[in-house]
Amino acid sequence: MKRLFLASVSIILLLSGCWDSRNMEDVTLSLGIGVDVTKEGLISVLNQVVVPPAQQGGSSSYNNVIGEGPTYHAAIRDVTTLEFPVYTQHQSIAVFNEGVLRGKRTLESLINQMIRDDHVRRSSLVLLTNEPTKEVLVAPDESTIPARFITELFGNRTHSSAILKESTLSSISSDLQEDLTFPMQMVVSDNGSASLSGSGIFKKGHLLKPLLNEQDNVRLNWLSGELEGGIIVSECNGDPLTFEILEVATPDIEPTYQNGHFHFHIHQHFSGRISENWDTRDESFSDDYLHTCIAAVKKTVEDGASNMMERLQKEYKADAARLYLKAQLAYPKLWQQIRADWDDVYFANASFDYELTIEVIDLGAKASRRNNPQIK
């Protein structure tokens, strides 16, 4: 009889589903948030929530709901227009307006509640903007949820060297706790849709000014070696030339330390094609001409990397290229002694040389007129 009773209870539990389950129509799922500051100095949090299919009626698949408060947690609790509480288990993105990161409000203080919330994904992307978040959390059409659209834009890193490696809630939380310097990708509005352009540098939890532009991102990727693809626009004998990066080898970054001074040797290797060449003469396929063009591309990259390094050292005094990771690995005991002074002293006064090797593996459609060379 006892066995029969236990079996009956088990069947009832299985048929009823999870004890704490909710109907999809009775929950509000947040896929993304935007954090701003109001004119009164309050924190404003935009929740981008999913509209259940049964309630869409042919309109937008998402809705923006805004709450305000003196703290981040107070702002997300100030959502009085929703019938059901907001669930953050599916949150994929958090966008912070630069204006909210001033005074006592640091990035670490604002993400503190997210870190404490067990339901927020540690893989959520974190981005910066210099526009109101409601203007950048947008997609090309209303059927596309902007939070998802922006997340998918990072898949374009194989085609654009202007997009930085993603910053996640987990990675920036760790960097902030260690007082490490790091860059963060910016998102902006572009003809009514979100676009990734520029970045901001965080040093000891504070956002530095000025913000970086798209070309700065490219050069920062050249220095750090974290790019996955893209193009290099140069000029050969007075004619525009475009080199498309198809493969990127892991960069060889070698730090040496002597007499209180660091030197970094950075060697990078790109393989790709000359995808555009405005010189239509037959001589443009000669080995001498190609060597000249490759030398021009190399100079474009090496000069750009040197210029970016000088700005990081002199203007920002911030190792946004994260060369400290190599210094820490090569000199672990020394790193513990100098880490507090890394940006302002050791990085700011370090020397470096940047060497690029380019291999042409394709000349595009014109290549059928001659054998593909292997030029280094």
Contact 241, 234 (CB under 8 A): yes
The secondary structure element, H or E, covering residue 39 is none
pLDDT of residue 369: 40
| pLDDT tens sequence across 93-139 | 999 999 999 888 889 988 888 887 767 778 889 999 999 999 999 99
Q: Is the pLDDT of residue 372 over 80?
A: no
Average pLDDT over residues 133-148: 89
Give the pair of three-digit tokens for residue 307: 């210029």
Contact 266, 355 (CB under 8 A): yes
> Dihedral (C-alpha) 19, 25, 30, 31: value to the nearest 10 degrees?
110
Burial profile 112-126: b = 16 or more Cβ within 10 angstroms, e = fewer: bebbeeeebbeebbb
Cα–Cα distances (Å) from 233 to 104, 162, 245, 293, 364, in that order, read 42, 13, 11, 11, 16
Q: Is the pLDDT of residue 208 over 80?
A: yes
| DSSP codes joined into one string, 267-280 | EEEEEEEEEEE---
pLDDT of residue 56: 52
pLDDT of residue 374: 45
SS3 73: helix
pLDDT of residue 280: 72
pLDDT of residue 91: 82
pLDDT of residue 19: 40
pLDDT of residue 9: 47
pLDDT of residue 120: 77
Q: What is the DSSP letter of 135?
A: H
As a whole number of angstroms, the distance between CA 63 and CA 93 comes to 15
210 cis-preceded (ω within 30 degrees of 0): yes
Q: Is the pLDDT of residue 61 over 80?
A: no
Contact 322, 335 (CB under 8 A): no
pLDDT of residue 373: 45
- To the nearest whole number, what is the mean pLDDT of the chain? 85
Q: Is the pLDDT of residue 160 over 60?
A: yes
Per the model's pLDDT, the better-predicted residue between 279 and 217 turns out to be 217
In the block, tokens 């939890």 appear at 205
The pTM (predicted TM-score) of the whole model is: 0.85
pLDDT of residue 164: 97
Contact 44, 69 (CB under 8 A): no
As a whole number of angstroms, the distance between CA 284 and CA 289 comes to 6
Task: Kindly report the backbone phi and psi dihedral angles of residue 256, in degrees, each rounded to the nearest multiple of 5, phi listed first.
Answer: -130, 145
Per the model's pLDDT, the better-predicted residue between 280 and 204 turns out to be 204
Give the pair of three-digit tokens for residue 1: 């009889």
